[in-house]
Amino acid sequence: MFSKNFYITTPIYYPSGRPHMGHAYSSIIADIFARFKRIDEYSVMFLTGTDEHGLKMQREAEKKSKDTKLFCDELSLTFKDLTKTLNLSNDDFIRTTEKRHYKAVEEIWNRLVKSKDIYLSKYNGWYSVSDEAYYDEDEIETKDNIKCAKISGSKVEWVEEESYFFKLSGWQDKLLKFYENNPKFILPLSRRNEVVQFVKKGLKDLSVSRTSFSWGIPVPKNSKHVIYVWLDALTNYLSALNFPNTEDKKYKRFWPATVHIIGKDILRFHAIYWPAFLMAAKVPLPQRVYGHGWILSDEKKMSKSLGNILDPITIITNYGIDQLRYYLAKEVSLGNDGNISLESLKNCINNDLANNYGNLCQRVFSFVNKNCNSKIPSFGKFQSEDTQLSNEIIKQIPNLKKLMDNQDLNLYIKELINFSFNANKYFNDLEPWSLKKTNSERMNTVLYNILNQIRSISILLHPIIPDSTNKALDILGIKKEDRVISKIANLKFLKPGNIIKKANILFKKIENDN
């Protein structure tokens, strides 16, 4: 039935700590792209889940004297709940402790062995448990007598143990060639350049197994070793499609993935290791890795000691999920680090949601309720000012799709808020309240046209603020299956005489002392 397929993933969360704004951001962004493709009538697969193996999880469980698996079960649930709180539309939630995932990881391992990309040796070097990453001597520094990774600031420890290695060095030229042939594989371009520079400096073979702890997937035929948590975790993108069954309809439909949305801190794993593993395992490569920036609070990285943590759950409780989704998507420039604060959250809710889109819906619905018997009015001949308004959106649709294909989310939102601003202006300029006295047929046409414009804007805003736009579209009586981009061009879609339901305020204005 579907000719267009779209597979989008978020990084599967480490469930060790409490969900924070960074987690919320990564997932909300991916959800917006997934929802956009659904309104563009793609067959969409949107994946998230939990990354549960590795020394970090084992140590956390030990600290709490809990069985590691039971500990993971509890924590994974917290993150599953988060997907509901954030109103994510994920089609699956994968856990790396699931059987289906083990099967996929074992297959990848066996393929790497078969292609002779794996050999047994000894690892002597630095490892950060917090990042679950290996670091070279030149990537670490000493701070207050503690050795830390420069890139993340997290503590590193010395590791000496037998380990299997992946021949990453052998993939350097092939990776560079791949980046060159696929200039949009890594976006934004600044991150692509970072990766290319890093690879050009030379790649060392990568330790891909550990023997000093047991919480992981055992290496096939040598269970003294567990598979390195990143080789394990990255494979989740395949396990959710029932790999290694490459005849499975999910795999056939959705692999290679369209885009992996990730934070910039895990770029190296996704843009270097992952494509190298896949090439070696003879699995086609994903089409894109998009590395978004960091969320900062008051210009600084959020941290407990600075006391500048904005907790997503508290914000959602106080202001609403659509408010948080809209704010993060609008105010943080997707490829860059972005500062967030309560002050700018409130301004954004007031300016864009309450005063602009919310106000548009509220005033038009109330006016129609009062003056048209709560029914969609009939319309006469459209005048140029009417078609100018509606054409503005219709003409922009190809561009809007292109923006979303390039993950230009901020520009997309800007366009939409502009449409809403212009619709408000149209309503002000044409003064249906005056027309009521002088030319009721013209009033009806203007109202019909602006109701239709609300329909279009609501469809296009749906990926960002799904709950509120659903309310607006419910009021207009639009069926679920008609909430799609292809129906926007039909300017006579609304049926005169159909009921306009009573409208409640979509977005309350936030007072300053709130």
Single out the residue of 188, 244, 263, 358 in contact with ligand MSP (rule: CB under 6 A). 263
Query: Taking the complex as a whole, how short is the minimal distance between the CB of residue 26 and ligand MSP, in angstroms?
Result: 4
Instruction: Report the C-alpha gap between 472 and 449 in whole angstroms.
Output: 15
Q: Does 93 engage in binding with ligand MSP (CB under 6 A)?
A: no
The residue count for binding ligand MSP (CB under 6 A) is: 19
Q: Does 364 engage in binding with ligand MSP (CB under 6 A)?
A: no
Report the largest interatomic distance among the alpha carbons of the chain, rounded to a whole angstrom. 88
Residue nearest to ligand MSP (CB): 263
Contact 448, 378 (CB under 8 A): yes
Q: How far is CA 193 from the centre of its chain?
A: 22
Query: Taking the complex as a whole, how short is the minimal distance between the CB of residue 5 and ligand MSP, in angstroms?
Result: 21
Q: Does 14 engage in binding with ligand MSP (CB under 6 A)?
A: yes
Nearer to ligand MSP, 188 or 263 (CB): 263
Instruction: Report the C-alpha gap between 281 and 425 in whole angstroms.
Output: 57
Q: Does 156 engage in binding with ligand MSP (CB under 6 A)?
A: no
Q: For 317, phi and psi rounded to 5 degrees?
A: -65, -40
Q: For the residues of 279-300, what is the DSSP string, one character each? A: HHTT-PPPS-EEEE--EEETTE
Q: Does 8 engage in binding with ligand MSP (CB under 6 A)?
A: no
Single out the residue of 108, 234, 281, 316 in contact with ligand MSP (rule: CB under 6 A). 234
Q: For the residues of 92-124, what is the DSSP string, one character each? A: EEEETTSHHHHHHHHHHHHHHHHTT-EEEEEEE
Alpha-carbon torsion (351, 352, 353, 359), positive or negative: positive
Q: Does 51 engage in binding with ligand MSP (CB under 6 A)?
A: yes
- C-alpha Rg value of the chain to the nearest Å: 26
Q: Does 352 engage in binding with ligand MSP (CB under 6 A)?
A: no
Nearer to ligand MSP, 187 or 233 (CB): 233
Using the rule CB under 6 A, give the single segment among 108-116, 260-268, 349-357, 464-472 that binds ligand MSP. Answer: 260-268
Single out the residue of 6, 7, 23, 325 in contact with ligand MSP (rule: CB under 6 A). 23
Query: Taking the complex as a whole, how short is the minimal distance between the CB of residue 51 and ligand MSP, in angstroms?
Result: 3
Alpha-carbon torsion (264, 347, 454, 458), positive or negative: positive
Burial class (CB in 10 A: 0-12, 13-18, 19+), 349: buried
Using the rule CB under 6 A, give the single segment among 20-28, 56-64, 314-322, 499-507 that binds ligand MSP. Answer: 20-28
Contact residues for ligand MSP, defined by CB under 6 A: 11-14, 22-23, 25-26, 51, 233-234, 236, 262-263, 265-266, 294-295, 302
